[in-house]
Each structure stands twice: as structure tokens, then as C-alpha cells.
Structure 1
């Protein structure tokens, strides 16, 4: 890095509180067709998203602020300047680390969305397994008129990749993001149990896990254990350069790529995404019967258990 760490951090901190975008206007008003496309993609049939009193799914908050290829008027130079400063300091790589949304007002068809974005914080220099760099957090405030509809925080790590000689070790496999809403699912997976959330009011099953029922809105829930049987509802074939965490895996034959990622419809009626294994990727077909299989991956951080779906014997 060109500057000493303390001096560079002082320069980076000067950007905290600066606007990255001011009074930007959404490309389109909140509208029923986009809500319909979103709900179809998510498999969400909540009646609250249809009809004359429809609201938009809260998780669409960022969708109404997307700038597309042409971007938005109202962007300032502050964020680009900050990124350039980090690039010049050797932090040329970037990875998104997490995002948070808070919903304060429902959005309805016809609402015109405006938003401002501020550079909320820049962390001290951090050393991670990816390299050394800085966490940058931006906050977007989304409004309809004078009303604050929601906020969206987005955090990235801008870092200089690790380069020095390192001792030989098995590459770290990426971990799933575990939060307060889905922790129970991953705790079940660790015990080789595939748990589905169930609303305690209307008894609707749901996946992925959510803080409340998307059919009746009830926040109370329990779980049922899935049988593990299912069928391939849809799938894609992934092609990417070799990644050591997968090619050095105990199950490298299924994970080195290309490989099939399936949308699996479980016997209980919900759908989930995971790898389809047990047949070559070009033999995967819609309707193929599968059954869950729990795989344990070992690396320097310990054991990681993941559910995959194996084609039922005799169907390969």
C-alpha cells in the first residue's frame, strides 16, 4: 500500500457521511407487472400482492432503486473517489459481505420512489483470509414523498489480495450466511435433518425460512422434518474456473464443474436450491426423482455439513 495504514485510514474516514447519491428517482413507479414477476420467481402466492389494495413484497425494496445500464442522475463523485483511493493503495479486489434492510412503510403500485445514499462507515484496516483491506458500508434511504419507506445497508470489503507464501492446507469452502431467521435450518442440517418451517396459525409450510408466514402473516411457527424425497423442478448448469475449495473436496467429482444446481420440489410441496449429484451434469432433467444426502466437508475451520440431492438409484 502506498500510504502507511494510519494515514490512509484518516483519508478514508474523511468520506464518512458524504453523499454518494442525492434525490435519485426510481426508473419506474412501483407497478403490478414487476410485483407479479417477482412473486412468480419467488413462488410467493400471498394475496396481499394482488388486487386493488395490493402492496409490493417488502424485500423488493432495492428493486425499485435499480439504475440499469444507464444509471441514475444524482450520483456524486464521493463513492468513486473512495474506491479509487483504495485501488491506488493496493486494495484492488472487492467482495460483498452482507446487506441489511429495514421496512418502515409498505410500497403500493403507483408510488414514486426516491432515494439518497450515504457512505456510512469505513472500518479500520482489517486482515482477513482473502487479504488486508477495509470494510465500506453505504446506507440507502428510500422514500415516497416525505415518508421514509425503508433503508438498505450494503457492505463490501475492498482489499489487497494475500500474496505471500503460505503453508499447504485445504482451501476453505465458502460458508452459508447464517442469520437469526435461518439459524434453525442450518442447525437441523448439522444434525442431518431437513427441517421445514410451518406456520402455527394456517399450517402453511415455507422455504426458505422467514420471520413470518407469507400466507397469513402470522409470526409464530414450528418445524416439520422433510422426508428428503423430491424431484427436479428446474435446474441450471454452472461453468466457472476451478476453485480449490471444490476441486480439493472429498466430493470433487461432483463439485469441480461443470455441475448442476437444481430447484428441488420436495414431497412436502416446498422448493429449495442445491446441487444435483449422482449423474453427469448433462444427464439432469426436469422431473428426475432425487433424495437428500448430507455431505460433510472438512477444512481448517472444521466440519461443514451441506444438503445435496442425489438422483434416486435406478433413475440415473
Structure 2
């Protein structure tokens, strides 16, 4: 099914035609490497790659194989002609000659949202070994540009080029078919990180167990009847160690609240309201106050909550192991 509008279809057809025109063009004119093939760089490479073949670093071993001297690892062909970090950063930033094919192509792709790039494939053909002293050049030609494809990274097109590597005498030493995906990045909603875990012990684990069952329990002294929260082993009023619980109705009022500004934690939605809730049973607890104002400025929170505002319990099932109580202001419409 073609679900594109006519205008989108026309735009896509024009883009296809423009991209076809790039096939066969030189993306990178012949460019000489900054340095010739040299032993210090070979040493760095083989150490990083774990390549122990002595023909790369031991001239005697290389001569014993019938070679004229040390040879570079074949896969270093691309490394000799890399632009360097500063030039690479300029290229990413689009600081290219305005009349270059690469700039024209980059501008065209960016005009339809293909602003991201990732390498997807590299195929090498090695014609001859590189010896110390060779000075390479590289030229890159566009071989093909695919139709629009939908990928896990986003919608885009595969650009395939052929890089031809030659030495100081103009002899071809290697060819590389290089494929990149130029794509429109997907817009992903940020995922919340897991909530920080409570510090569980013998005195409070029962409270979190009840919360997972959506029961808001309040600890009560079995001797004097005083309610207490957070849970503890001893009654602060009569010092008794015996206790039971009552189940709260979930109704109460805002005793006080604060808006957390900084530092932001990826496990929480913002604006982040933390309230002291006075339960109608006669005790208080600290919990999040929920507002229908995602992304609102903290200064505007007063439009949603105030001291003495009536609140009702809601449960936050954060994951399989953690459920926490939260409260939402009860508006007149909900009465």
C-alpha cells in the first residue's frame, strides 16, 4: 500500500533522480596520505591488533620469506590515508569545500533528514603488499545509492563507494568497497531508569511487601495505640516493642511539599513533587505527589497543589519488586 501523499511521492521521485545522478561521481578526489608507510606506525598497529607475524617488525624474518623487507599488515591500507582527527571533525561538522561532490551529497541528504551516518560493511581486495617507504594515495567513487530502506536505526539509504589505493608510482595496491547508511534517526522517548532500591531490613520489609499488594499499612503500638511511620522496632511514645498494623484508607491532605529541581535523576518524571501527606488516620508519610503537568515549569506547580489540598492514594507499580504509594490532589470534579 502506498500511504504517501502525492507531494511526498513527487519529492521522493525527485530525490531518487538526484541521487542517481551522483552514481559514478568522485566523492573524494585522489588524496595523498600524510605520511609514507613507516615502522613506528606498524608497531603500534600490530600491538593493538595482537598481530605477532614477524614479517611486520623483524626485517630478518621478512627477508627469510623472500620479501625485500618489512611489509605492513594488509588491513592497514585504509589507515595510512585516514584524514586525522581534526579533519574528521571538520568533515562531520560539514566543513567541506562547497563545490565538492561530498558536500553536495551531504547537503542533499541532510535536506530530507538523513543527518546520521553509520558504517555497515567493508570489503577489501589486496593487490600487492605495502612495504616501508610506500606513499599511498586514495580516490573514492560512488558505486551505488539504494532506494529508501527502513532499518532499526531509522529510515535511510545505503551508500556504496569504491576506494582505490595506489602507491607513489601510481600502481593499484588495494581496493575497498565501503558501505555506509545515511539515515534519519528515530526519535526515541527516553526510558526511565530503575527507581533506587529501598534499604530493606527486618523492621520495614513487611511494609514494602504490603505495598506490592496495594495495601497501605500503618504501624501501631499494641500497648498505647500510637501510630508511627516510618516503621520501627520501638514505640517512640511508650517504648513498647509490641505492635500491629492498621490499613489506611488512602485519603489525606497535603501537610507540606517541595519541588525537587536539581540534580535530576533519570528514574523520575519532572516536575518532581515530594510531599508530606497527613493521612486521615492521624499519621504522616512522605510520598510523591502526582500532577498532570509533565514538563511543566517548577514555578507553575502551585497551580496543581497547595498545602491542605485533599489527596487520594494511587499506586506506582515501578517493577516486579517495587511498588510505592503516591498521592494525587482530589479536584472538585472528582468529589
TM-score, length-scaled by structure 2 = 0.45
Structure (1 or 2) with the larger CA radius of gyration: 2
TM-score, length-scaled by structure 1 = 0.48
Q: Identify the structure with the greater strand proportion.
A: 1
